[in-house]
Structure 1
Amino acid sequence: MTPPIHEMTDRAREVFRIVVESYLDTGQPVGSRTLSKISGLNLSPASIRNVMQDLEEFGLLAAPHTSAGRMPTESGLRLFVDGMMQSHEPSPEERAAIEGGARGGDGPVETAIANTTAVLSGLSACAGLVLVPKREPRLRQVGFVPLSHDKALAVLVGEDGSVENRVIDLPPGLPAFALEQAANYLSATLAGRTLSEARAALAQQIARERAALDVAARDLVERGLAVWSEDGDSRPVLIVRGQARLLDTSAAEDLDRVRQLLDELEDKEEIARLLDSAREGDAARIFIGSENKLFALSGSSVIAKPVRALDGRVVGVVGVIGPTRLNYARVVPMVDLTAATLSRLLS
């Protein structure tokens, strides 16, 4: 059974800390001879081997090969992260890069979110993940393009420059002029509103009989607005950036794990569910290896934190995924900073 940190001797804690930090830094198992040369430890290789043997019996360390030294197990990493890790605040350069990603131009907010996630991916050498609600653009123009006698393409242009297309069913017997009439009405009357605002305004105008539309065009307008609104906030946007970061120089030693991880990253629905489970609480959540079934096969770790609006509402989740050999002390504060940056962007 894994002992709590406070039940370990000072000697065991120090050896354990050095083994974990060395492994996270190099990715290689650590031997007793290497540890004996570290300044301040003041232990012989034989004493260190005895301590490491005890730590292995506790399930905190493991030896991948008989003479290869020791490396932390998932239980060991969990104990280290929860009880011993000393976080390192992002440097001024890292802070400027993350905050600069959110100021990436005047385009759609999803672009700024993607840019920020890409920066986090680059700094952490992991894949960056962010789950945010689909934001409704404010309308600038709406058009309808006939496709056949019973279908048309509804085209929505937002004030932020975004363009979305949806195929809609046309009412039977719709006159040709109704498409143009409906598009002109929407563009002139509902411009500057979000989709939900446009639907509410349309309902009020129809109720007051102020909508200058015949029945066919009115039906078309309602269909055009409904086809976007029904998958608005209910369908979150998952953005994944930096998968190529997982193919670093150390990946050649463990290609099977990396291939498995890349396959797992294709399961967007499961990733969204994982990130959604990190919505509770204020601190970043850390999933190590098999603690999460999605990435159990690849032995990967996920660090995720909720993104909160100024009023405290959770408006998304941001995180990274990489090998269990992450520099947790450095990456966790980066995720914290990215969450704070996106909070301001999404508020």
Structure 2
Amino acid sequence: MASTTITELNDRARDIFRVVVENYLESGSPVGSRTISKLAGFSLSPASIRNVMQDLEELGLLAAPHTSAGRMPTELGLRLFVDGMMQAAEPSAAERAAISARVDTGGPIEEALAAATSVLSGLSSCAGMVLVPQREVVLRQFGFVPLSRHQAMAVLVGQDGSVENRVVAIPDGVTPAMLIEAGNYISARLSGLTLGDARGRLAREIGAGRAMLDRISAELVSQGLAVWSEDGERRPVLIVRGQANLIDQGAAADLERVRQLLEELEDKEEIVRLLDSAREGAATKIFIGSENKLFSLSGSSVIAAPYRGADGRVVGVVGVIGPTRLNYARVVPMVDFTAQTLSRLMG
């Protein structure tokens, strides 16, 4: 059953299967034989169509939720449709313009990634997700602003123009002049380096007696750099936007599924692992229902595509999650275009 391919179906079965899937994805309701018989291009009686649908059900491609109801595609049927029959529709000019405008803001890359998930969520009516590139900030300028006898505000300016603040504890005996000296040292000697490289150079210069800092100032500089390095390692690498889109008009009839999906979205580590698996392919990947363990209970689908950095290597993944009744033909190219837009931005 799992090995069924489109080529194994005759023309009549393929046509009826395609109509059932497309109508179900559009309406969310099972499709009956009488509905199909009224469509242009079908000269078959409802009884003949029912016989074909029964054959497709025996192959595991369709299912009947109720005895008297029509048929709807199974997860296996959706997989067969997506892989062998779906005709993807390119994003419209308005959709492409909306994605490009929201992503290319000229600000820090994290803002662009958050914007990408938001616009993708809005256009697809799904929840948008993106894996943030794991990268270290490159220093441009660094300074300390005194707050009290034992605390200072460390201000870091990155080469990408990003500005971040952290409150740090300062050693006893540190004066405002020492804070200025420490900030000037970092800006002058360590600018252009990643945080890891800056910490390494500082350790070598202190070890060789070339740091031009007294012991307390050197301790202050080390502590300031350490705060950012440790924070970067703990920084969330997943952005999720648009969970509210999952509670759509059809959700009232299936609140348990929606509740389960929202719970699953709280498991950030599992989602990261899932999206990470999309790094391996060059194209957009589609996970349908129980094909992925994490979302098997809610019966949800994930569409994800990798995006690349300046050197062409994959640095992250962007995608959406929604019910298996997604408009795959529209959403797949949309996710792919967003990934291409992010790749151009990162390049």
Question: What SS class does the counterpart of residue 338 from structure 2 fall into?
Answer: helix
In the alignment, the residues of structure 1 paired with residue 238 and residue 44 of structure 2 have an alpha-carbon distance, to the nearest angstrom, of: 50
Contact 2:307 2:343 in 1 (8 A): yes
* Matching residue of 2:303: 303
Once the two structures are TM-superposed, the CA of residue 84 in structure 1 deviates from its matched residue by 1.0
Q: After superposing the two structures, state which structure 1 stretch, 229-238 or 252-261, moved more.
A: 229-238
* Matching residue of 1:21: 22
Unaligned runs of at least 5 residues, structure 1: none
Q: Does 1:11 align with 2:9?
A: no
Contact 2:142 2:154 in 1 (8 A): no
Contact 1:61 1:72 in 2 (8 A): yes
Once the two structures are TM-superposed, the CA of residue 305 in structure 1 deviates from its matched residue by 1.1
* Matching residue of 2:285: 285
Contact 2:144 2:152 in 1 (8 A): no
Identity of aligned residues (%): 66
What are the equivalent positions in structure 2 for 1:87-236 lying under 5 Å apart?
Answer: 87-104=88-105, 106-135=106-135, 136=137, 138-143=139-144, 145=146, 154-158=154-158, 160-165=161-166, 167=168, 174-176=173-175, 178-187=178-187, 189-191=189-191, 193-203=193-203, 205-206=205-206, 209-230=209-230, 232=232
* Matching residue of 2:247: 247
Q: After superposing the two structures, state which structure 1 stretch, 134-143 or 313-322, moved more.
A: 134-143
Deviations along 1:42-68, one digit per CA (max 9) or x if unpaired, are: 211000000011111111111111112
Deviations along 1:303-334, one digit per CA (max 9) or x if unpaired, are: 11111224321110111000000011111111
Question: What SS class does the counterpart of residue 293 from structure 1 fall into?
Answer: coil
* Matching residue of 2:51: 50
In the alignment, the residues of structure 2 paired with residue 16 and residue 33 of structure 1 have an alpha-carbon distance, to the nearest angstrom, of: 14
Contact 1:318 1:338 in 2 (8 A): yes
Once the two structures are TM-superposed, the CA of residue 259 in structure 1 deviates from its matched residue by 1.5
Once the two structures are TM-superposed, the CA of residue 82 in structure 1 deviates from its matched residue by 1.0
Q: Does 1:39 align with 2:40?
A: yes
Question: What SS class does the counterpart of residue 212 from structure 2 fall into?
Answer: coil
Deviations along 1:68-123, one digit per CA (max 9) or x if unpaired, are: 2000011110111111111111111111111111222x432111111122111111
In the alignment, the residues of structure 1 paired with residue 195 and residue 262 of structure 2 have an alpha-carbon distance, to the nearest angstrom, of: 36
**What residue identity is the alignment partner of 2:337?**
L
**What residue identity is the alignment partner of 2:69?**
A
In the alignment, the residues of structure 2 paired with residue 41 and residue 165 of structure 1 have an alpha-carbon distance, to the nearest angstrom, of: 68
Alignment RMSD: 2.4
Once the two structures are TM-superposed, the CA of residue 243 in structure 1 deviates from its matched residue by 1.0
* Matching residue of 1:312: 312
In the alignment, the residues of structure 2 paired with residue 98 and residue 270 of structure 1 have an alpha-carbon distance, to the nearest angstrom, of: 27
Unaligned runs of at least 5 residues, structure 2: none
In the alignment, the residues of structure 1 paired with residue 109 and residue 72 of structure 2 have an alpha-carbon distance, to the nearest angstrom, of: 43
Once the two structures are TM-superposed, the CA of residue 9 in structure 1 deviates from its matched residue by 1.2
In the alignment, the residues of structure 1 paired with residue 144 and residue 340 of structure 2 have an alpha-carbon distance, to the nearest angstrom, of: 38
Once the two structures are TM-superposed, the CA of residue 281 in structure 1 deviates from its matched residue by 1.4
Contact 2:307 2:342 in 1 (8 A): yes
In the alignment, the residues of structure 2 paired with residue 114 and residue 93 of structure 1 have an alpha-carbon distance, to the nearest angstrom, of: 20
- For residues 142 and 22 of structure 1, do their structure 2 counterparts lie closer, same or farther at Cα, with a shift above 3 Å needed? same
Contact 2:141 2:186 in 1 (8 A): no
**What residue identity is the alignment partner of 1:251?**
A
Once the two structures are TM-superposed, the CA of residue 345 in structure 1 deviates from its matched residue by 1.6
Question: What SS class does the counterpart of residue 301 from structure 1 fall into?
Answer: strand
In the alignment, the residues of structure 1 paired with residue 290 and residue 18 of structure 2 have an alpha-carbon distance, to the nearest angstrom, of: 22
Deviations along 1:20-46, one digit per CA (max 9) or x if unpaired, are: 000001111000000000100221100
Deviations along 1:148-171, one digit per CA (max 9) or x if unpaired, are: 76x766443446243142645x56
**What residue identity is the alignment partner of 1:25?**
E
In the alignment, the residues of structure 1 paired with residue 275 and residue 149 of structure 2 have an alpha-carbon distance, to the nearest angstrom, of: 41
In the alignment, the residues of structure 1 paired with residue 283 and residue 76 of structure 2 have an alpha-carbon distance, to the nearest angstrom, of: 20
Contact 1:147 1:153 in 2 (8 A): no
Q: Number of residue pairs matched?
A: 343
Q: Does 1:67 align with 2:68?
A: yes
* Matching residue of 1:267: 267
TM-score (norm: length of structure 1): 0.90
Deviations along 1:110-148, one digit per CA (max 9) or x if unpaired, are: 111111221111111111100022441544333265677
Q: After superposing the two structures, state which structure 1 stretch, 233-242 or 173-182, moved more.
A: 173-182
